[in-house]
Each structure stands twice: as structure tokens, then as C-alpha cells.
Amino acid sequence: MEDHAVERADSHINTSLLIQSLQNEEIDIFRNEFLDMHPYDQASFFKDLDEDIRAKIYLYLSPEEMAALFENLEIEEEDYKDVLAEMNPHYAADMLSEMYADDAVDVLNELDKDQVVSYLTIMDDESAKEIKDLLHYEEYTAGSIMTTEFVSLSANQTVRSAMYILKNEAPRAETIYYVYVVNDEKKLIGVISLRDLIVSDDDTMISEITNDRVVSVSVGEDQEEVARKIKDYNFLAVPVVDFQNHLLGIITVDDVMDVMEEEASDDYSKLAAVSDMDHIDRNPVSAARKRLPWLIILLFLGMLTASLIGRFEDTLDKVAILAVFIPLIAGMAGNTGTQALAVAVRGIATGDLEKENKWKLVIREAGTGLINGGICGVLVNFIVYFWKGNFFLGVLVGVSILFTLIVATLAGALIPLLMHRMKIDPAVASGPFITTINDLISILIYFGMATLFMSYLTG
């Protein structure tokens, strides 16, 4: 995690001056202004340029300078291929070599295998080997987001020698705030903060100031679990180890922020019954193809709801006023079910439900449904009575809402818990899916009760 705290993070982008200097081929003016900007601002300026203007930037910046920009570039994943294609292959390979290995891997994962092999062939052997090692790890695991650019020390050396190593390796390390201690077999045995190194005497042995209660993650651990661990412990970085506790790399908080954004986007898209919302489909056919399967499933569930209403056609013929309250009953069921769903999915995603009995959540949601249903039921009872002048109709609608809200709340909480238990992503129990299921439940409750108490409604 590169430290840009001393750089001008609030720098004003003089776009017109930068473009003018590029067009007039005033290299010194462009470099002085551009390199004085924070890399994020450089990337923001770069991504909005036309291809012919960007071509000049490749001539004016070294691969190392371009690497800092590229690490902060926020574009669609499929666009990385187009941007790299604008560069000379050797320039692109050198730039990827200068990037932190985990960031370079993120870019290469978006390319075709032939392109990846081509760039790795051009790179220097050390960078290529480092990147190859990371490419082998399964996507969405700790190994796939870790970096191998870190500083490690031996327990049997002094602080003086450790500081010498730190000064030499710091320029290439992603962070130096934590320094990890390994034994002769490269197994992780502890951690030292930069503060501990600075305040200790030069002749102090590393083993004397090492904290052996180090929290680490397995190389195969899910990236969402890693993000949760860093958040819970408030770490800046966490070491990654294999099953024998060999230190393989580290994951920094900036990588975790990307993971959290990615996971949040993924969960939100599933809650909306849409996949890959982080990818903007410029082609309507492609967008429709992704959304159509869910819509077809919901269409058939909707037809099932319509069929269920049809079964109570005789009831509607006798008391036509019942049709007026169908949207009310179904809407209340969908809303309360979605609320319970959001609570359950969030609890699973944050790990809060792992710390408490899941049945407590179910009981709590049932109680919530009972209270909300009771209050809404009584309220709608009086409204319907004063509106339509039919006491039993008000009771029917009120009691239907009471039972509907209880059942809908339980469904919203139980379905994601069951899916989680079956190792299925609970976010796929999307809002539209839960809403449609609760439509079925609410209609069945409403018309079932109306049929039972028909004599009171028609009397």
C-alpha cells in the first residue's frame, strides 16, 4: 500500500494546461504539472482522454511513472485490454513489471490467456515469476489478492541490521508499517510494528520485541472472510500463510476496500435479481440476456399467483370488494419480507450471525412480524370499516395482514438462512424472488380466510 500522504491529494487538475502541453509537445511543462499530481488525479485525467492524446502520454512517461497511474485507474474491467493494446507491448510489459504484483495480476486476469503469456514472456524473469505464482491461485481467495512485496526479518538478528534491510527493501514493499518475523524455514512466527523498530535500541534482538500473537489468513481463505478479519481487527495488513504456516504474502487494507466494494456490488445486484451489475452492458442484447432468466422465473411465479387468484373466482364473484385489497395485502407482504431478507443477508455477510444463535434471529423476526402485523391490522381494520361501512370486511383485511406479515417476515429471514446452510449464496434470495413468494402466501391467506368467513361478508 503505497504511502501518498505527503503528496498533494487535493491537487487541482489543470486540464486545459495539460492537454495544451500535450498537443504542443511541451514535454517539460506536461511532466512538471502532471507528476506533481496525486496518482488518483493522474488516472482520472487519463481515462477521459482520446486515444491519440493518450499515445503521447506513453511517450512522455516512463513505465514506472505509468505504473503508478495504472494502479489507480478506475475503468471497466474489459477496457483494460483496449488500453494495453494502445501501448507498445514492451512498454506495457515493463509497466506491468513496475506495478505491485497483486495489481498487475488484477489487470492480467482481464486479458486472454495468449495475451498474458505474451506479456509474461517479455517481462524480466523475476517479475514474471512473481506474477505467475499469484496467477495460479483460485480467484476470490486470499492468494488471488495478496502481494508478495513485503518485508520479513529473521528472529536472530539485531534491530540495527533489521533497519538496514528495511531501508533497502522499503521502496518496493507495499507497506512497511508491519514487518513480519520468520524462522529459518520461512515460517511465520511473529510481527513487529514499525514503531517498535524505531524506538528500540540498535543492539536489541528482533526476537525480544517480536509479538508472537500474530493473526494470519490461509492462502485459500475466501476474500470476503479476509476483508471481515481486517475490519474486525482494524489492521492495515494481514499476512497470508500456507497450511504449513510458511509466509507467502500480505493483504493490505486498500485491497480489502476493493474486495468490500466488489462484494457489496455483487450482493446488491443479486438482491435486485440482476447479475454482474459492476459490468456496464453497452449492448442491450447482452444486458437482456443476463436479466431474462430471472424475469422468466418470476414470470412463471407470477402466473402461479394469477392461477391461485383464479381458484377463488367464486369468492370474488360473491364479494367483489375483496379484489380492492389484493394489492394492499400483497404489497405489505412483499415489503416486510424484503426488510427481513435484508436483515438476514446483512447478518450473514458481516458474520454477525456466526456469533449468535440463528434461531434468535428467526424468533426476533417473528416477534417483529407479530408486532407490525398487529398494529397494521388494527389500523387497517378501522380504516376499512369507516371507508366501506363493513365491520367484518375490516376484520378480514386486518387479520389477513396480521398473519401475512408474520409469515412473510419469517420467510424473509428463513429462506436466506436455509440457502446459507446449503452453501448457496443467500443474496440470490433476491428482493423480487421473496416478493413474489410472499405474494403467493398473502393471496392464499387472504382468500382462504375470506372463503371461511363468506357468510359474515355476504350476510
CA–CA gap between residue 401 and residue 159 (Å, rounded): 70
pTM, two decimals, is: 0.62
One digit per residue, the tens of pLDDT, for the chain of length 459 reads: 444 443 444 445 678 889 889 888 899 999 999 999 999 899 999 988 888 899 999 999 999 999 999 998 988 777 888 899 999 999 999 999 999 888 899 899 888 888 999 999 999 988 899 899 889 898 889 998 898 889 999 999 999 999 999 999 888 888 889 999 999 899 999 999 999 999 999 999 999 999 999 999 999 998 888 988 888 888 889 999 999 999 999 999 888 887 776 666 555 555 555 555 445 555 576 666 666 676 677 677 778 777 777 777 777 777 777 888 888 888 888 888 888 887 887 777 666 666 566 778 888 888 998 999 999 989 998 998 888 888 888 888 899 999 999 998 988 888 888 877 777 666 655 567 777 788 888 888 888 888 877 776 665
CA–CA gap between residue 150 and residue 455 (Å, rounded): 78
Place of cell 364473484: 317
Per-residue pLDDT at 346: 74
φ and ψ at 188, to 5 degrees? -70, 125
CA–CA gap between residue 173 and residue 103 (Å, rounded): 13
Per-residue pLDDT at 10: 44
Task: Count the neighbouring beta carbons within 10 Å of the beta carbon of residue 232.
Answer: 11
Q: Are 155 and 211 in contact (CB under 8 A)?
A: no
| CA nearest to 46, candidates 24, 8, 6, 79 | 79
CA–CA gap between residue 118 and residue 161 (Å, rounded): 40
And the C-alpha cell for 353? 450471525
Per-residue pLDDT at 339: 84
Is 177 exposed, middle or buried, given 0-12, 13-18 or 19+ CB atoms closer than 10 A?
middle
Q: Determine the 3-state secondary structure of 441 from DSSP.
A: helix
CA–CA gap between residue 96 and residue 128 (Å, rounded): 9
Sequential DSSP letters for 94-116: HHHHHS-HHHHHHHHTTS-HHHH
State which amino acid sits at residue 57.
Answer: I
CA–CA gap between residue 376 and residue 381 (Å, rounded): 8
